Homo-oligomer: A and B are copies of this chain.
Amino acid sequence: MGNLYVALIHYPVTNRQGDIIASAVTNLDLHDIARTACTYGAKAFHVVTPLTDQTRLVETIVAHWTKGGGGRRNPKRREALSLIRIETSLAEVLAHIGAREGERPAVIATSARHRPNSMGFGPLREMIHRGSRPCLLLFGTAWGLSEALVATADYVLEPVNGPADYNHLSVRSAAAIVLDRLMGRR
């Protein structure tokens, strides 16, 4: 069923004005995207932040659900949050996946903006299901991944568009839709 990894990037991302920032971690991002990753069979969910206090926050939340009372009361939530790996940079994510898989994954950036070289959902779905190489999907918090980070990716996925003009999904919703389109039963 493919060899897929998911990463949620808190730095480098942009704010409303287009400046590069490190965004704050949102508790429900961890829960929602972990549950989505678990539903669609991703092998890990990497939460990327270089800020020490944010790393500690994520560790505390994850420990509550994987080792503490939360997970005892709700084993399904424990199963999902067990997928979370905390990393300080994309380079660290790539190193960890590389060590686990024996090869560097193909890196696919997601974006709310169409680009001339965007990859369609169909071709990416095929690439993942051929399973010849691990794939890492990057999702950006705040106003999205920095252009410099997008430029380092092997592919940029086409945006999720509905029938309307509106194109401002939360990262939680976008991750759910993207994983369903790539990994959902057809």
Residues of A whose CB lies within 8 Å of any CB of B are: 1, 16, 28, 31-32, 35-36, 38-41, 74, 76-77, 79-80, 160-164, 166-170, 172-177, 179-181, 183-185
A173 → chain B closest CB, angstroms: 4
**6 CB < 8 A contacts A-B:** A28-B172, A35-B173, A36-B169, A163-B183, A176-B177, A177-B180
Does more than half of chain A's interface fall in helix, strand or loop, or is it mixed? helix
Residue of B nearest to A39 (CB): B162
A131 → chain B closest CB, angstroms: 12
Interface residue from B79, B161, B164, B166 paired with A76 (Cβ < 8 Å) = B166
A164 contacts B31, C-beta separation under 8 Å: no
Identify 4 new A-B residue pairs, CB closer than 8 A, beyond the known A170-B172, A180-B181.
A39-B166, A76-B166, A160-B180, A162-B185
Pick the 4 closest A-B CB pairs, nearest first. Answer: A173-B176, A40-B162, A39-B162, A41-B164
Q: How far, in angstroms, from A160 to B39 measured CA to CA in the complex?
A: 9
B176 contacts A176, C-beta separation under 8 Å: yes
* Contact residues in B for A39 (Cβ distance below 8 Å): 160-162, 164, 166-169
Residue of B nearest to A29 (CB): B28
Residue of B nearest to A38 (CB): B166
